[in-house]
């Protein structure tokens, strides 16, 4: 059975393709190994390698070899680079933009996108997300989270709202209505994903 195209951008064949393109085009200065892209998308190495081959064949990416490493980056010289980057920023961009902004902030135990963006990513029907809702679990400094949200807004072109709760509230407070509602809806993890064999 063939997977449905992603509701965030039905022009693409899968969420993996969207995330790969977002990581590459929204960080055009970076090169990524297949292993790194596998960890960032949570997909299998075989799937990522196949998708990268397709993107290479279409001229959307370039690569170089460093020993056994295959290093991939966006091809900024393709005629579709600018419009593709803009389209990726407003669709799959949150999955690629938020992790590097949150990573340097200490005190983050977990981080998720929730709300309409996470629902569309999970292929739940609805209109395109107007804003991005982020849950940070831990004791991170609220000023640093605010700065990260504003930086993300500049790239994504939409409002980014970050809510912070303690680890104890997230794991132990079964009576908290906010936590209960989140646990019953799609969440998209912003932490490094487990590599699928």
Task: Kindly report the CATH number assigned to the domain that includes residue 19.
Answer: 1.10.10.10
Pick from 49, 45, 51, 50: nearest CA to 12: 51
Confidence of residue 21 (pLDDT cuts 50, 70, 90): very high
Same domain (yes/no): 173, 100: yes
Digit-coded pLDDT (tens) for 133-171: 999 999 999 999 999 999 999 999 999 999 999 999 999
| pLDDT on residue 193 | 54
- Provide the whole-model pTM: 0.88
CA distance 8 to 125: 10
Same domain, 71 and 112: no
Domain extent for 184: 95-189
Can you give the pLDDT at residue 195?
42
| Domain shared by 183 and 99, yes or no | yes
Residue 3 lies in a domain: no
pLDDT bin (cut points 50, 70, 90) of residue 113 is very high
Contacts of 153 (CB under 8 A, 6+ apart): 159, 160
Query: In this structure, are 86 and 117 located in the same domain?
Result: no
- Residue 115: pLDDT above 90? yes
Number of compact structural domains in the chain: 2
Token look-up 């209109």 returns 127
Nearest-angstrom CA–CA distance, 163 and 146: 10
pLDDT at res. 125: 93
Rounded to an integer, the average pLDDT of 107-112 is 96
**Is there a single domain that holds both residue 20 and residue 78?**
yes
């Amino acid at each position: 059975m063939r997977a449905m195209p992603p509701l965030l951008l039905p022009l693409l064949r899968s969420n993996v393709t969207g995330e790969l393109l977002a990581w590459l085009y929204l960080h055009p200065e970076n090169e990524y190994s297949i292993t790194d892209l596998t960890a960032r998308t949570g997909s299998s190495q075989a799937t990522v390698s196949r998708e990268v081959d397709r993107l290479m064949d279409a001229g959307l990416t370039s690569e170089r070899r460093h020993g056994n490493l295959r290093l991939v980056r966006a091809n900024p010289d393709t005629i579709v680079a600018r419009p593709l980057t803009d389209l990726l920023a407003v669709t799959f961009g949150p999955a690629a933009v938020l992790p590097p902004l949150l990573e340097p902030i200490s005190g983050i135990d977990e981080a998720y996108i929730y709300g309409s963006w996470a629902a569309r990513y999970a292929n739940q029907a609805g209109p395109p997300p107007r804003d991005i809702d982020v849950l940070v679990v831990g004791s991170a400094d609220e000023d640093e989270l605010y700065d990260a949200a504003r930086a993300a807004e500049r790239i994504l072109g939409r409002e980014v709202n970050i809510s912070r709760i303690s680890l104890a509230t997230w794991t132990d407070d079964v009576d908290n209505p906010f936590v209960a509602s989140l646990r019953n809806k799609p969440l998209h993890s912003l932490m490094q994903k487990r590599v699928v064999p």
